[in-house]
Amino acid sequence: MITPVIMAGGSGSRLWPLSRTLYPKQFLALTGEQTMLQQTVSRLTGLEVTAPIVICNEDHRFIVAEQLRTIEKTGSIILEPVGRNTAPAIALAAIVSEKNNPLLLVLAADHVIEDQKAFTEAVKRAVPLAEQGKLVTFGIVPTQAHTGYGYIKRGDSVGDSYTVDKFVEKPDVATAEQYLLSGEFYWNSGMFLIKASRYLQELEKFSPDIFIACKKSLKNISADNDFIRIDAAEFEACPDDSIDYAVMEKTTDAVVVPLDAGWNDIGAWSALWEVNDKCKDGNAVSGDTILHDTTNTFIHGGERLIATVGLDNIVIVDTKDALLVATKDKVQDVKKIVEQLKVQGRSEFKIHREVYRPWGKYDSIDNGTRYQVKRITVNPGEKLSIQMHHHRAEHWIVVSGTAKVTNGDKTFLVTENESTYIPIGVIHSLENPGKLPLEMIEVQSGSYLGEDDIVRFEDRYGRV
């Protein structure tokens, strides 16, 4: 029995401005109609697997649940109160599933694999090894002397796989070229197939502090629908370490299965240019564009026309509130822009103008010192929390659909071209009782308009 363990943490700062802290790259549709998380789950169709275990942080829980629901999949969602790297995260999954002792197929939620058949066959080759107690990692057959990846040197052959001789850090160009010529090195993919009990044995042996902290954090877990919440204080005390450092570099039972499947970890905008279809001029383009004398360029358009003249080797990414322009060979430095945004206390590193909520989404389309205008979409059957605000009043205008509004001690319907006013301090709620999305405009006015001016009294999504 294989249980997929999907690591869905991380902020993807190198893919800013599309990827942001509260909506990072694993939840974006970057290489197709499905998001990267959805592609990762859908990739498992050729294998006999149980429902996946997805590991993410608290802020992303509803995004994960909704994206699984959209592709008609279910699974357990372990919520990490803080990020502690891959060794503790995999330990949580192993402990949760310890009773059935499955093979854990550890995958990142943000990888591209173009050849699903090759991926499936590699996992099947790894199953007998993992059943024997080997700790299997998948080594990507390198296509170039890449300096952005760690490498795995293979040892003796084990059938059509190999023992792991050693893990090596990201090399310089000359060293990477030597690795490529030798034919003995693979890129470290960060994907594994390991029996749950075997992983815990090796973790307890080589990194007992991680093992103990994870055990303690799961002693008093609480379940909320598909969400598994762990003891925050115990987990925060856990060391921050990767599975490579904590276990794989120390065990004598590490095995590497070669994988040649068009793998890419989409670590920067240049990687997206590589995996996307390109025109005869080498341009990978989405959105409304007009190009003249432009070559080898990546353009991700938003809602407006992008016109280019005389460009080569450029990345352009347009969103509602930020525009990135960079040369393709410098896109790794996008994270430095994100760092500057954090230092300046700007919201653009953290959140998009359009924000998703478990009930739908809102788009902040205008704001001033004492007002803010939002376009709100409430999905059919969904309801915002029963709440009140200390510092702002709200005026709701229904554009399409029907709203069920609680305003103080009254509950009534508001339909298209109708409106209602919520004074400061009045308890209120909004619900979509219909079968079509509810679209409305909200005008806020008051001395403070922050999202933290919400006092929730009742919430079906557990946010009280």
The domain of 255 spans 2-264
Residues 222 and 318 in one domain: no
Contact 430, 396 (CB under 8 A): yes
**CB neighbours of residue 306 within 10 Å:** 18
End-of-domain residue from the set 264, 285, 305: 264
What is the reported pLDDT for 51? 95
- Residue 463: φ, ψ to 5°: -100, 10
Does residue 202 sit in helix, strand or coil?
helix
SS (H, E, C) 28-87: CCCCCCCCHHHHHHHHHHHCCECCCEEEEEHHHHHHHHHHHHHCCCCCEEEEECCCCCHH
Q: What's the average model confidence in pLDDT over 230-254?
A: 95
Residues 35 and 182 in one domain: yes
In the chain, the number of structural domains is 3
Answer whether residue 173 shows pLDDT above 90: yes
What is the reported pLDDT for 464? 63
Answer whether residue 222 shows pLDDT above 80: no
Residue 347 covered by a domain: no
End-of-domain residue from the set 210, 240, 264: 264
Residue 343 covered by a domain: no
Residues 222 and 78 in one domain: yes
Contact 235, 217 (CB under 8 A): yes
Helical pair 86-96 and 208-217, crossing angle rounded to 10 deg = 50
Strands 53-57 and 222-224, bridge-based pairing: unpaired
End-of-domain residue from the set 238, 264, 290: 264
Residues 201 and 156 in one domain: yes
∠ at Cα 154 (265, 200), nearest 5°?
70
- pLDDT digit string, tens, across residues 6-60: 999 888 899 999 999 999 999 999 988 999 999 999 999 999 999 999 999 988 9
Q: What is the DSSP string of 89-106?
A: HHHHHHHHTTTT-PEEEE
Q: What's the average model confidence in pLDDT over 325-353?
A: 94
**CB neighbours of residue 458 within 10 Å:** 11
Residue 341 covered by a domain: no
What is the reported pLDDT for 220? 82
Residue 61 covered by a domain: yes
Q: What's the average model confidence in pLDDT over 282-295?
A: 97
CATH of the domain at 416: 2.60.120.10
Q: Which is more confidently placed, 159 or 122? A: 122
Residues 158 and 204 in one domain: yes
Determine what percent of the chain falls in helix, strand and coil, rounding each to the nearest 5.
Answer: 25, 35, 40
Torsion sign (Cα): 367, 370, 375, 380: positive
Residue 464 covered by a domain: no
Written as six digits, the tokens of 210 are 């991680």
- Give the integer Cα–Cα distance in Å for 44 and 52: 10
Residues 308 and 418 in one domain: no
Q: What percent of the chain has pLDDT over 90?
A: 88
> Could you report how far apart the first and last alpha carbons of the chain are, in Å?
38
- pLDDT digit string, tens, across residues 394-442: 999 999 999 999 999 999 999 999 999 999 999 999 999 999 999 999 9
Residues 400 and 450 in one domain: yes
CATH of the domain at 51: 3.90.550.10
User: Bridge-partner residues for 284, per DSSP?
Assistant: 298
Residue 344 covered by a domain: no
Residues 257 and 288 in one domain: no
Q: Tell me which DSSP letter residue 459 carries.
A: -
- Distances from the Cα of 142 to the Cαs of 186, 244, 393, in angstroms? 6, 19, 58
Residue 463 covered by a domain: no
User: Bridge-partner residues for 375, per DSSP?
Assistant: 363, 441
Residues 114 and 217 in one domain: yes
Residues 303 and 428 in one domain: no
**What does pLDDT average to over the chain?**
94
What is the reported pLDDT for 318? 97
Which amino acid belongs to residue 65?
A
Residues 49 and 198 in one domain: yes
* DSSP E strands, 84-181: 103-108, 112-113, 135-140, 151-158, 161-168
Residue 223 covered by a domain: yes
- Give the integer Cα–Cα distance in Å for 308 and 299: 10
- pLDDT digit string, tens, across residues 97-128: 989 999 999 999 999 999 999 999 999 999 99
**CB neighbours of residue 245 within 10 Å:** 16
Residues 324 and 362 in one domain: no
